[in-house]
Structure 1
Amino acid sequence: MTTHPQPGRHGRGLTVADAMEPCDYQIADDSTVDQANDIFQGARVEFLLVRDHNGRCEGLVTRAGLHPFLSRSWYTERTAISATSHQRGPFAWPTMGLALAAISMRIRRLVVWPVVDEDGYTLGVLTADRATAVLADAPA
């Protein structure tokens, strides 16, 4: 009988699933910048996951990314999130190696990366800080 190492049991077998975190805040891609800003202010979060009309992950928008739109109040009421420049795919998947994901995030200069299933639905997010911490704590 052949045994296979279990993911997450040692540093080399860690996957994105071992480090991803839930993301409670999402917004539809047809929502306005003004609506997103209300969520940012009320929930005190730095990013929102953007979902399309089918509920699949479309990307991620940050408070800083919306800054140019917020300087003109009339513009925020009419501009849909889908019309803004925000992080779009490809996204991480839960079975992806965590070390590879951390390298990909560093190369793409991502602080947060959505994690999706095979159908494109959001499972959570991977943050650069969390990936680094989990990799640092893993036995060699």
Structure 2
Amino acid sequence: MTLVQMHRPASANLTHRTVSEVMDAAGPQVCDDMSVEVALSVMTAARTGRLVVCDQDGQCAGLVTQTELTAVRDSSAYTDRVRLRDILRDHGSFTSPVTTASEAEQAMRFLRLGAVPVVDEQGSALGVLALSR
């Protein structure tokens, strides 16, 4: 039960570490009006498997993964008019940088989330917290 982004000795205790100490950089951030095809292209260019999605005000709206986008693109209902805002799941699943890493990990496992955005008080994405498989 370790977090992917943790660059720490295996013996380090998560109980007292905060999310800000173990999160990964936010990486590419895209607007929620981006099409699925363009988002997949951004992921390929950035060599990443997920994107932080922001709304028109720059506030974090959630995460999308390459697996999710590929499934949408390959579905029979897909059109080139589908935007990221149309497919965002777990809109309210975020964590704070001051939450303990163990609390965040427990919540993510309970909600069955592989990764969540880390946001500040204004809703801006600071990073991403991801569980190992």
Q: Taking structure 2 as the reference length, what is the TM-score of the superposition?
A: 0.81
Q: Which structure 1 segments of 5+ residues have no match?
A: 1-8, 130-140
Verify: 1:93 aligned to 2:96, yes or no. yes
CA drift at 1:85: 4.1
Verify: 1:35 aligned to 2:31, yes or no. no
* Greater displacement, 68-77 / 81-90: 68-77
Name 2:125's counterpart in structure 1: 122
Verify: 1:19 aligned to 2:48, yes or no. no
- Cα distance in 2, alignment partners of residues 73 and 26 from structure 1: 28
Distance 1:17 1:85, change over 3 A: closer
- Cα distance in 2, alignment partners of residues 116 and 44 from structure 1: 23
Q: Deviations over 1:44-87 (max 9, x none)?
A: 21110000000010000111111232126994521111011433
SS of equivalent residue, structure 1 residue 12:
coil
The amino acid across from 1:103 in the alignment is: Q
Distance 1:72 1:61, change over 3 A: same
Name 2:58's counterpart in structure 1: 55
Percent identity of paired positions between Structure 1 and Structure 2: 35
Q: Which structure 2 segments of 5+ residues have no match?
A: 1-11
Verify: 1:113 aligned to 2:116, yes or no. yes
CA drift at 1:34: 1.2
- Cα distance in 2, alignment partners of residues 108 and 31 from structure 1: 27
How many residues align? The count is 122
CA drift at 1:41: 2.1
Distance 1:78 1:56, change over 3 A: same
Distance 1:73 1:63, change over 3 A: same
